[in-house]
Amino acid sequence: MRPQRHRGWFWVPAMLGATMAGPTVRAAPEAIEVGTANVKDLPGGREADGIIGDFVLRNDAVEIVVSGNLHQRRANMGVLWDAPTPGCIYDFTFRGTNNDQLTLFAPGGQKGQLSSVYVLKDGHDGEAVVRAELTAASAGNRVARRHDYILRDGWRHVVVVSTYENRSAKPAKVSPEANCLGLVSGLTVEDVRTGLCQDPDDRIGYAWAGIEWENAKPAAGGEFDLGPGQTASLAVVLAIGAGAADAFGEVRTIATPGHVFEGRVVDTDGKPVTRATMHFPAAGADGTLVGCVDAAGKYRLVLPEAACRVTVRDIGRDDVTAEVKAGQPQTITMSTASGVQVEVTDEHGGPLPCKAQFAGIDGTPDPQLGPIVRAHGCDNQYHSENGRFFQGLPPGRYRAIITRGIEYDHHEQDLTVERCKVVGVRATLKRVVDTRGWVSCDFHNHTTESGDNFCGTVDRVINLAAEQVEFAPTTEHNRLSDWGPHIERLGLHREMKTVSGIELTGRGPHLNAFPLVPVPRRQDNGAPTWDPDPRISALTLRNMPGDRENRWVQLNHPNMSRYFNDANEDDKPDDGFTHLLDLIDAAEVYGQFILSGQRHYEVQWRGQTRKRDNWPMLWLQMLNAGRRVWTVATSDAHEVTQGGVGGWRTYVPSSHDDPPEIDPSQIVANAKRGRSFVTNGPFLHVRTDAGEGPGDTIRAKRQLVLKVRVQCNTWTDVDRVVVLVNGRPDPTCDFRKAEHPEMFAAGTVRFERDVPVALKTDAHVIVVAIGEGSTLKTGYGRSWQSEMRPVAYHNPIYVDVDGDGWTPSHDALGVPYLDYGFAPATTRPDR
């Protein structure tokens, strides 16, 4: 059974920066190997992972990347931990659209190194084929296999024929099921499996199913036995479409011609409805097959039936159900949208990145605006790169809360959204917290390139700008990347700066490093290999090419008991990974429970109560043991909301605090000296009367005067400021608003005081400012960060009272020193 003629259509993706390709393409299909001279032939997109050494199949409709048989070839870190995946489909997009949304398609669950991947047929005869094979000689006593990826002109699908040969003397298990990763809303309809892209605005769906192809049987069903000397050939088809419905139609109409449905979706004023989704019945499935319109509100889909019923939806409009017929262009009319038109500016009237939350009030439920991995409509939020946007909302009552991080005030407004009406929201946000000379930094974040999440790279950049993070190194898992081009394209170069970096990751210690130099279009852009010994990983990162002198290396979300006290986890202290502290610049040892005095704390996570390491408490123990390590606070964000950036950050001094003028080497130099403080809200400034600050060592001084100044914006607060001496609150320097209301003000500057500190022995001194009676709910709403208490503290000031060298106190603070407890949090909601 051979697939038929071309039934494809093109559209312009609505996501930022996507454009439709314009050049004329060859009629014949092609199969090419990618080298340095033709690397431009690799398609792009949200999930694009092609590199030099891969193979491109393309025709007039689609482009497909088949991974080469390269050492440790992986689409990204998250695909498979146990084996590489050469000889698989990594990218699949419409020709010229740079809109790949697929992470992996592995026929028969293909994994493990192969003998070769090569062009079997280049397409000059009308058929292009790339073959991936493990030969009988290489397989030995295993099952030899080959996968032929077949493409002809006009197809919006690729046929994969997998042939298995058992060369052993015993029966062998063969699994025909393909492994498809990266999609959502999976649905099986009439034995065809479908899935959608992560962000509906990318307007892509895929479908796959086993088919008969020449002598091959359908690749379907469960695992089966292949007898000694036996051979089996199985075929599967993978199709792309404008949503899952269109891809499903492409698969179901391979053998027989399908029916073309086309038309447009408009509102009552005749304007295109550009974000409409079309929901078709899915026989025997719990759900609907979704089709997408293009950026002009047009649709063109191929389906098996000549007529069907469709429901069209768009947030803020009435659902419309209509009968549609093939061959008859139709116009589907929806109501005019209800929603909000937002314009947010700074105090000078200029555009301002921001975050808007829309909370239902007076019985109106919170709206669901989209997946949590995108900026433009995520959960009940909208993150904007310039403060100007429209968001559809169902009719009802809402409270709009508009913020821009922790330095600006906020705007709060109750709205009544009527059917078919748009409410205007105008807000001016003022930068009320004076942070001159300091830069808001977040050294640890992720996008879909990391492989363990699907946050769009553009969406992460917008998220950072909306939360007013000014310096954010690019730190994807096991991949060297650079967010700089995205920052430029979004026009955000005046708001933030980045440098290339990495989080080196495995089943053990994770380390971040920057700046590093990516090698484009190589595996992981030239990233090194993780080692379970963090000292080897740290040395590897320090010796990578580039600016080694200004290289920053930090230890992420550490298991402090293991890394610094009991490396082999046998409950016998062994100093952990000896000399690890000499190889890192800082560790993520931050959290809101620095004053609790407890080794652990409990959190609710996915319906369960879990114990977590109290990192700040263990950090104070280490400082008291004379083991100096600077703290750094990060977001480690994997989503835009429900785990986005902004909840924690580190402030570092800089001679230039205007983002375009930030010198990353100066940020690194100051951070290496501990000249920083961590916060989730309050801005804490601490200096001695002689000008010393965090990270400094003061000699021959028993009496300090700390000049403490705490600022808060309109949605954060503090009600306690306390000085820790060797990790314990000094009762003479513990100021609570309930007991000393005169010390706390209602304006931006909540606390400002010269605090004398008397010392009898050598000590490290840390000031903590905290809002024990408040949370961050106004700024974070439904995200987990909202339940945190506002808190800020700085890296220690060391005081050598006698001038004869600093001596640690060895005070374990009432709990066993770094006793082995519970694994540290590697997810955000427990910090």
Chain segment 550-573, per-residue pLDDT in tens: 999 999 999 999 999 999 998 899
Nearest to 545 by CA among 484, 480, 497: 480
Is residue 750 a contact partner of residue 737, using CB atoms and an 8 Å limit? no
In angstroms, the CA 238 to CA 661 distance is 49
**pLDDT number for residue 286:** 85
Write the DSSP string, 396-426: EEEEEEEEBTBTB--EEEEEEEPTT-EEEEE
pLDDT given at position 195: 98
Averaged pLDDT for residues 604-619 = 87
Residues forming a β-bridge with 751: 710, 744
Q: What is the pLDDT of residue 399?
A: 98
Where does 435-589+629-679 sit in CATH, by number?
3.20.20.140
Q: Are 564 and 578 in contact (CB under 8 A)?
A: no
* Whether pLDDT at 13 is above 70: no
Contacts of 139 (CB under 8 A, 6+ apart): 145, 165, 167
Kindly calculate the radius of gyration of the chain based on its CA atoms and give it in whole angstroms.
29
Tell whether the model's pLDDT for residue 12 goes beyond 70: no
- Distance, CA of 749 to CA of 252 (rounded, Å): 66
Model confidence pLDDT, tens digit, residues 57-103? 999 999 999 999 999 999 999 898 889 999 999 999 999 999 999 99
Residue 62, pLDDT score: 98
Strand pairing of 217-218 and 231-241?
A: parallel
Alpha carbon distances (Å) from 441 to 210, 472, 490: 50, 6, 20
| Placement of tokens 């002009």 in the chain | 296
Q: Which residues contact 578 (CB under 8 A, 6 or more apart)?
A: none
Residue 25 banded pLDDT, cuts 50, 70, 90: low
- The CA-based diameter of the chain, rounded to the nearest angstrom, is 92
Residue 265 pLDDT more than 50? Answer: yes
C-alpha distances in angstroms, 236 versus 90, 219, 670? 16, 5, 57
- Residue 738 pLDDT: 97
Q: 612 CB contacts (<8 Å, ≥6 apart)?
A: 600, 601, 602, 603, 822, 824, 825, 830
Q: Which helix (H) or strand (E) holds 488?
A: helix 484-489
> Which pLDDT value is given to residue 26?
53
The C-alpha atoms of residue 771 and residue 515 are separated, in whole angstroms, by 35
Question: At 811, is the secondary structure helix, strand, or coil?
Answer: coil
What is the residue whose two structure tokens read 């000699």?
699
Q: Give the chain's mean pLDDT.
A: 93
Q: What's the one-letter identity of residue 826? A: T
The DSSP-derived string for 739-755 is: T-GGGB-SSSEEEEEEE
Domain 339-428 belongs in CATH node 2.60.40.2890: no
Distance of alpha carbon 658 from alpha carbon 84, whole angstroms: 44
Question: What does the pLDDT read at residue 138?
Answer: 80
Beta-carbon count within 10 A of 336 CB: 17
Q: Is residue 2's pLDDT more than 80? A: no
Alpha carbons 674 and 133: distance in angstroms, whole number: 54
Query: Rounded distance, CA 630 to CA 677, Å?
Result: 10
Question: Could you check whether 339-428 and 682-807 share the same CATH topology?
Answer: yes
Indicate the Cα dihedral angle 710, 612, 644, 435, nearest 10°. 20
Q: Is the dihedral of CA 432, 438, 444, 450 positive or negative?
A: positive
Report the predicted TM-score, pTM, of the whole model to 2 decimal places: 0.94
- Percent helix, strand, coil in the chain (nearest 5)? 10, 35, 50
pLDDT at 823 over 80: no
What is the distance of C-alpha 410 from the center of its chain?
A: 26
Q: Across 272-395, where does the E strand assignment appear? A: 277-281, 288-292, 298-303, 307-313, 320-325, 330-334, 339-345, 354-360, 381-384, 388-392
Per-residue DSSP letter, 378:
B
Distance CA 534, CA 513 (A): 13
Annotated domain spans of the chain: 30-256, 277-334, 339-428, 435-589+629-679, 682-807
Contact predicate 619/352, CB 8 Å? no
Residue in the block written with tokens 């295109």: 272
The pLDDT value recorded for residue 559 is 95
Q: How confident is the model at residue 27 (pLDDT cuts 50, 70, 90)?
A: low
Residue 821's pLDDT is what?
Answer: 43
Confidence of residue 7 (pLDDT cuts 50, 70, 90): very low
Q: Is the pLDDT of residue 830 over 90?
A: no
Mean pLDDT of 716-728: 98
Alpha carbons 475 and 645: distance in angstroms, whole number: 13
At 167, is the pLDDT very low, low, confident or very high (cuts 50, 70, 90)?
Answer: confident
Return the structure tokens found at 767: 């000031």
* Nearest Cα to Cα of residue 784 among 722, 829, 733: 829
Return d(Cα 583, Cα 509) in angstroms, integer: 13
Hey, is 384 helix, strand or coil?
Answer: strand
Of 487, 534, 497, 532, which is closest to residue 512 (Cα–Cα)? 534
Quote the pLDDT of residue 140.
75
240-278 as b/e, with b when 16 or more CB fall inside 10 Å? Answer: bbbbbbbbbbbbbbbeeebbbbbbbbbbeeeebbbbbbb
Cα–Cα distance measured from residue 809 to residue 623, given in angstroms and rounded to the nearest whole number: 9
CA distance 383 to 707: 37
Q: Does position 3 have pLDDT exceeding 90, yes or no?
A: no
Helix and strand numbers, DSSP H then E, in the chain: 9, 50
Six-digit token pair at 112? 């493990």
Distance CA 778, CA 357 (A): 9
Tokens of 284: 């025997």
In the three-class reduction of DSSP (H, G, I as helix; E, B as strand; rest coil), residue 36 is classed as coil
pLDDT attached to residue 610? 85
Would you call 305 helix, strand, or coil by DSSP? coil
Angle in degrees, CA 776, 782, 783, rounded to 5: 70
CA neighbor of 63 nearest in space, from 136, 147, 155: 155
> Does the pLDDT value for residue 520 go beyond 60?
yes
3-state secondary structure 41-103: HCCCCCCCCCCCCCEEEECCCEEEEECCCCCCCCCCCCCCCCCCCCCCEEEEEECCCCCCCCC
Class of domain 30-256: mainly beta
Output the pLDDT for position 59.
98
**Cβ neighbours, 10 Å, residue 415:** 18
Q: Tokens 């093109």, residue? A: 10
d(CA 721, CA 710): 9
CATH classification number, 682-807, choose in 1.10.600.10, 2.60.40.10, 3.90.226.10, 3.40.1190.20 = 2.60.40.10
pLDDT tens across 456-478, in order?
999 999 999 999 999 999 999 99
What's the whole-number mean pLDDT along residues 357-386? 98
Nearest partner of 677 among 475, 466, 439, judged by Cα: 439
pLDDT over 50 at 827, yes or no: no
Which among 395, 416, 383 has a CA at the least distance from the CA of 315? Answer: 395
Which pLDDT value is given to residue 14?
31
